[in-house]
Structure 1
């Protein structure tokens, strides 16, 4: 920045920022899911969203130890998340609404607050139990790591015994907080107290856990617990069925349920696959299901209009009810739901995927998770401007109903995107429309809605530097240059239509938009117009006979 005062003669070097600040495009494919999971552990909380970046991390948060992550009551969320990652999805946020269907008989549990740690050869070593008074405070992690014999006090004569590998350390943690730590432990029941402590004796007075030696006979090294981080989970109390709908919706201030998911700014697409599981189990009737769908759509619309303080760059992927397998039935259901929005998309029919809990036999699941994975894959390989259609959904082995051409002529005009099976081409997504009103043709396509949201959010975040700058023509020119450079970049990538940048977009920021009366109010107005590319949904060849004679 230029100095305003010079006192001593000399040469002064000043760095001046004359270039425009580039706008970086925001992430467009970060999903949010709400549904049932097999477990909630590893720091994840019931009804609250947790960030998951891959399937292994999902298992760490929402599956029991050494489990495949799916559930015995066939919850749809694990299938949706698995399909999301398989099809190219990246980060996602997951909100668990329970590990059992409310009202279902509780499965037999064997000491839910107990942890069994094994040693060499997978032989039993130690058992930890949370003290009853600590159960309400949350899960506890046990960390076993290497240690050695205790050092002799300074000035004491004698030799320290060799480290035979039998010594270990126990840390008790909750989250990132270390609650207790015990070092120089051994499984030797009669150790030399000068160098080590029997593990049971050391933890006898722990405030958080009870410990039990379950090892068999053998040397202390053979009975030593294996290194690692282990968790003692807390039994999850299932909500009453009459509270299920309210818990599903959640509370914004508590960051729970669907409302809590919308408080995560980076999420750009949302789905609730287990809405249909709740409907099938009669936990919710159809009107309650419509209520949650309406809530998701309204929150997307409210964010875009500014009524709700959330990012205006989200879409909802809906699923048709399971009792609407045929085209006319899904049309009748959509007419009953009677909700139109450019921020919603609907796919039909349900898809069939292998069920690991049934020896790999097919199970019908809602398509939302796989579809959002394809959205992410298309964004990554082509760009957000490419319609996520004519793509093969990975992991799909069949469809609940095979839609033909004439049936799609009924569904496509009202915004129902079909997943179809084609001879020699496999199963493909054969639709790319939003659920907007049919007469609003400018918002007909998913790719157009998401492209405009991408441009809006990128410009919003990329021009924050302009806030509180002097509102003069220099600022106007810098803003025009910054936004124009960003739009020209995405035009060159193929996102905007036009032979030249002037045909593809314009950026206006001048005295006409910013008269003195608005400047007095501290406002700067910039007008941006773009011409998005649209998918070639109908490819028409006009063929006629030609005799090859010139002039005819």
Structure 2
């Protein structure tokens, strides 16, 4: 409204009186924590990185030309690949290292970048100059810029003469130029180089001598002393020199996995990314199998994941943790066993012993068998969390967040570590353990045959994954979609606008089939009136809105009652 009108005329004013539609948030973004083959490109050790496809994962967490998997069978690559295979879209990946903690440090030549001749014979090896370690804080590879080395054509040094007709030295083809580039720094250029230690200084420089004092690289001549320098010359090309792998001491592993929220590292770093709605740490099981963490330490990490999902102050809690059953038989002294040795009663006994319940957690059994590209596609047993979260995302896209992510076929699965039958699932399902079943007898293949959270069995209100995620979707969408209300005049006009905004959002959900009821009035209600907002609450600057919804629930048990019937009876 204009404050003053002095001259006659027509005045046009914009007045915002309508409600603003609420756009639903995405609940289909995952976060993964574990070991990777490499940390390069845009990736930093311990820091979450957005990945949108498998190729992008290879660019940042796999070595050049590699399949992206590891020699020690880290589970993270399998989980991320399973995520994309089963319909997953965006995800955030945190690498906690490229070697298992406690692994002996490799020799410099093992981690060096080897340059070869045009005939594929050894020529030079390059290593980074690592800064000195400060105190007990390790030097992280992610904190050091990788160095790019370019080998290009060059020629002998020109003669130092004033005679323009003087004949220049003959170019034997052995000379090359080496360009060193670190980050955005000015490139260092070294021309007229040769791999011949006896090169005439008037013609060129021996490459090892020329870069002896370089602060970025350490060079080693691995060509031998046989043959002409031309045949030992490194081939032209662009090469990347990476720092040696970070190998954590055993006492740091649990801290590296958990991370630091303020530094946006580890699992805690994922909770600083608003769009991450589901979290898993598949290599927690690799650490357990390798006896790097004991069962109590595994429980501590899982407890931390669940607690962080439950506490999302100041907004509503909306994330869920998908955890894997550790392959353990408690009667064997808490020592890890092969996944195929863990029977349904073992995982039931483990969960009872762990005794941690949460509506923001989900557990799947058994482990799954997938192909291992690093070992010629021979099968390997891996935790199911990545494949299961991919199915969550697939169900969100095809049906909606309100549809239970079950009765779906997991893609990329060759078999199961153990095939539970119906009687065994009768033991696990009431405990909130979701089974993956083989329905070969029905010609239906493998199916995810459970959709429960890890809530207490008697808390049936939050029993199903789809209900928990639907309510989280509604809460978070309303929170973000009503930010415009803050500092608006708290009067009946605002109450009506907020009511229309929320009702419009819930009506769309009802039409999509997310809410139960023959009409919107049966499916939900929105209350924002003088009964809730009294003069006293308004004096405190508060606006109260009460929302009730009736979510649809999965038909977990389908019962047909069949009897003989005669129309004459």
TM-score (norm 1): 0.84
- Contact 2:82-2:411 within 8 A present in 1 as well: yes
Q: Which residue of 2 aligns with 1:233?
A: 242
Q: Distance in 1 between matches of 2:32 and 2:326?
A: 17
Q: Which residue of 2 aligns with 1:45?
A: 44
Is 1:401 aligned with 2:418?
A: yes
Q: Number of matched residues? A: 516
Is 1:181 aligned with 2:187?
A: yes
Residue 124 of structure 1: CA displacement? 8.5
**Larger deviation, residues 485-494 vs 139-148:** 139-148
Q: Which residue of 1 aligns with 2:437?
A: 420
Residue 441 of structure 1: CA displacement? 0.8
- Contact 1:320-1:348 within 8 A present in 2 as well: yes
**Larger deviation, residues 259-268 vs 491-500:** 259-268
Q: Which residue of 2 aligns with 1:443?
A: 462
Question: Pairwise mapping of residues 361-440 of structure 1 onto structure 2 (< 5 A)?
Answer: 361-423=378-440, 424-440=443-459
Deviation track 1:106-148 (CA, whole Å, cap 9, x = no partner) reads: 4455263x54567989899987653455996502243869999
Q: Distance in 2 between matches of 1:233 and 1:293?
A: 33
Change (3 A) 1:122 1:463: farther
Q: Which residue of 1 aligns with 2:266?
A: 257
- Contact 1:169-1:181 within 8 A present in 2 as well: no
Is 1:316 aligned with 2:321?
A: yes
- Contact 1:134-1:208 within 8 A present in 2 as well: no
- Contact 2:177-2:193 within 8 A present in 1 as well: no
Q: Secondary structure at the match of 1:110?
A: helix
Residue 246 of structure 1: CA displacement? 2.6
Q: Which residue of 2 aligns with 1:518?
A: 537
Q: Distance in 2 between matches of 1:389 and 1:316?
A: 17
Change (3 A) 1:481 1:115: same
Out of 466, 480, 503, the position equivalent to 2:485 is: 466
Deviation track 1:415-466 (CA, whole Å, cap 9, x = no partner) reads: 1100000021000000000011111111000000000001111110111111
- Superposition CA RMSD, Å: 3.3
Q: Distance in 2 between matches of 1:179 and 1:500?
A: 65
Q: Which residue of 1 aligns with 2:290?
A: 281
Q: Secondary structure at the match of 2:31?
A: strand
Question: Pairwise mapping of residues 12-23 of structure 1 onto structure 2 (< 5 A)?
Answer: 12-23=11-22
Q: Distance in 2 between matches of 1:123 and 1:38?
A: 26
Q: Distance in 2 between matches of 1:427 and 1:109?
A: 47
Q: Which residue of 2 aligns with 1:69?
A: 68
Change (3 A) 1:119 1:471: farther
Question: Pairwise mapping of residues 318-337 of structure 1 onto structure 2 (< 5 A)?
Answer: 318-324=323-329, 325-337=342-354
Q: Secondary structure at the match of 1:179?
A: coil
Residue 42 of structure 1: CA displacement? 1.7
Q: Which residue of 1 aligns with 2:558?
A: 539
Change (3 A) 1:167 1:497: farther
Q: Distance in 2 between matches of 1:293 and 1:471?
A: 43
- Contact 2:402-2:466 within 8 A present in 1 as well: yes
- Contact 2:366-2:417 within 8 A present in 1 as well: yes
Question: Pairwise mapping of residues 188-199 of structure 1 onto structure 2 (< 5 A)?
Answer: none
Change (3 A) 1:67 1:477: same
**Larger deviation, residues 138-147 vs 99-108:** 138-147
- Contact 2:178-2:193 within 8 A present in 1 as well: no
Is 1:528 aligned with 2:528?
A: no
- Contact 1:117-1:225 within 8 A present in 2 as well: no
Question: Pairwise mapping of residues 115-130 of structure 1 onto structure 2 (< 5 A)?
Answer: 115=113, 129-130=127-128
Change (3 A) 1:519 1:414: same
